[in-house]
Amino acid sequence: MKKSLLILLSLLFTFNINAATNGQKLFESNCSSCHGTKGQGGVGIPISLPSFIDSVSDNYLAKTIQYGRPGRVMPSFNALPSKDIQAIVTYMRSWTGNKGKVFSRKNIKGNAKAGKKLFDQHCVSCHNAGGTGGVGTGVTFSRPRNAAIIAPSLNNPGFLSSAEDHFIKETLVNGRAGTPMMSYKALGLSDKDINNLVRYIRSFEGGPYPYQGYDTESAIIKVDSPYNLEETLANVKDAIMGKNFKLIRIQELNKGLVKPGKENKKQIIVYFCNFNFLNKALAIDPRIGMFLPCRLTIVEQDGKVSILTTNPLKLAGIFNNHELSEACKEMHTIYTELLEEATL
Amino acid sequence: MNKLSGSIKLVVFLLTLSFSGLSYSQDLIMARVKQNFPETMVSLQSAIKKTGYTISRVQRIDIGLTKSGFKTDKYRVVFFGKADEVEKLTSKHPDITPYLPLKISIFAENNDTIIVSNNPQHLKNYFKKIPSHYFTNWEKDVKKIFFQTGIIE
């Protein structure tokens, strides 16, 4: 009997080790590029923070992986089999060695209207009105930010589908050590106040959510020019400088790919930048290098001159980042105006 | 044979040490390399060349930002392509020119380095007149470049 128990225990131990190992591999191939090798954070939030990982349920982690956070960088991994998701969760638990919390799935009763008043008073400064969350990606080690950790978006459908009422309540009661989230109990809020806050946060469910992809947009913006290539280039330069952008470089498209002197003079790239705009965009999402630097391409073919550029709205869809999509809308407008001005 | 298997084991071991995983959603290919920026930049450029491409330019985004008074760590964009492919493709399909040469962004994050690219397959549906093998090959090559960048030489 004792022997059987030992065998059973060793089998269970082996199973857990294997699950964690497999989970580590899955974590590294799916999560670490954003969250860091040990969940310390980067483009994604720091998920190995003990005050976070030890206060969430396995259910919350699994659903977060499954649903992601639409428009808030974290993609949905709904194509991953549930056993793989569970293996990732098991691996994440190995960071502190503690089991996940188990929360009642029962809804908390309260007064959402009273909760809104408290939310506006205590939560809006970090989580923004309507619980839309802080600006930017998880944390950054590369450039200065106002907040070490970006406040999560509480109105996000992915969050609301993953978080139990009692988990939200416990977060409000205890706060989160190592982040700006403080204990609301320590702030003097009563149990009733906290229940009202939970009810208000839950009331975001089913409400309007601004993020939409742009999958139907064309991949390029293109305008035909009534001028010859030299005139079009001069117009493009004037239009760029007229919009307070700095010209960085004008070169043939195949420069650097062919021997000097062999470049195609009928395919010209104009690179330009507004560093203020760029700095803001990088703070929103540091992965935007594929947009950089801003660029217009002038092409002459069969006597016809065209100006082309990538469509920022199309590229925006890649990042699952609502804030970035808004910046891309602005960039789309700028590109469109530049093309119009250069071909007037 | 034993020597070869030893080499393979060494490569796998080094790969495990340096590369923390390549992740790609449908449209974005991204990796965290457990090397600092200068080493990763050397590895990246070497991997691009080994995959048969020419580097046409490295844009130093961080330099422009710093000169304009903004603080930033290392951030570069590496442009690369194949001269004959670019010439053939753009002369027949000029609409693809804004997406050429191909590019990979590389930026420092503490002692790690992040490399990111859009998945070229993402563009396939928008350029239906271009034979799909171009996009398939680019995707395969970009993933190969990312994978090789993680190997310490």
pLDDT in tens, chain A (344 residues): 555 555 544 544 444 545 556 999 999 989 999 999 899 888 888 899 999 999 999 999 999 999 999 988 899 999 999 999 999 999 999 999 999 999 999 999 999 999 999 999 999 999 999 999 988 877 776 666 666 678 899 999 999 999 999 999 999 999 999 888 999 999 999 999 999 999 999 999 987 766 655 555 789 999 999 999 999 999 999 999 999 999 999 999 999 999 999 999 999 999 999 999 998 888 888 888 878 899 999 999 999 999 999 999 888 888 888 888 888 999 999 999 999 999 99
Contacts of B116 in chain A (CB under 8 A): 287, 289-290
For residue A29, the number of C-alpha atoms closer than 13 Å in the C-beta half-sphere is 12
What gap in Å lies between CA B3 and CA A315, rounded to an integer? 47
Do the Cβ atoms of B20 and A32 come within 8 Å?
yes
* Chain A touched by B68 (CB under 8 Å): yes
CB A71 within 8 A of CB A317: no
**B105 contacts A254? CB cut-off 8 A:** no
Cβ within 8 Å of A, B 129-148: none
DSSP class of residue A301?
Answer: E
Mutation for A interface: B18, B19, B20, most A CBs within 10 A: B20
Helix ranges, A55-164 (H):
58-67, 82-93, 112-122, 124-127, 157-162
Question: For position B151, what pLDDT does the model report?
Answer: 62
**B83 to chain A: which residues are within 8 Å by CB?**
254, 257-258
> Which has more pLDDT, A105 or B15?
A105
- Average of pLDDT values for B47-72? 94
Average pLDDT of the segment spanning B26-53: 94
B3 to chain A, minimum CA–CA distance in Å?
Answer: 28
A253 to B101: CB separation less than 8 angstroms, yes or no = yes
- Of the candidates A65, A61, A176, the residue with the CA atom closest to the CA atom of residue A127: A176
Q: What pLDDT is attached to residue B139? A: 95
Write the pLDDT tens digit of every residue in B82-134. 999 999 999 999 999 999 999 999 999 888 999 999 999 988 888 999 999 99
Q: What angle do CA B26, B134, A301 make, to 5 degrees?
A: 120
Residue B26: CB atoms within 10 Å: 10
Check pLDDT > 50 for residue B152. no
Inter-chain contact A219–B72, Cβ cutoff 8 Å?
A: no
So what's the pLDDT on residue A336? 96
Residues B28/A318, Cβ–Cβ less than 8 Å: yes
Q: Does residue B32 contact residue A42 with C-beta atoms inside 8 Å?
A: yes
Which pLDDT value is given to residue A96? 96
Contact B70 A273 (CB under 8 A): no
CB contact under 8 A, B71 and A143: yes
pLDDT tens for A291-303 read 889 999 999 999 9
Q: Which of B91, B116, B123 sits opposite A289 (nearest CB)?
A: B116
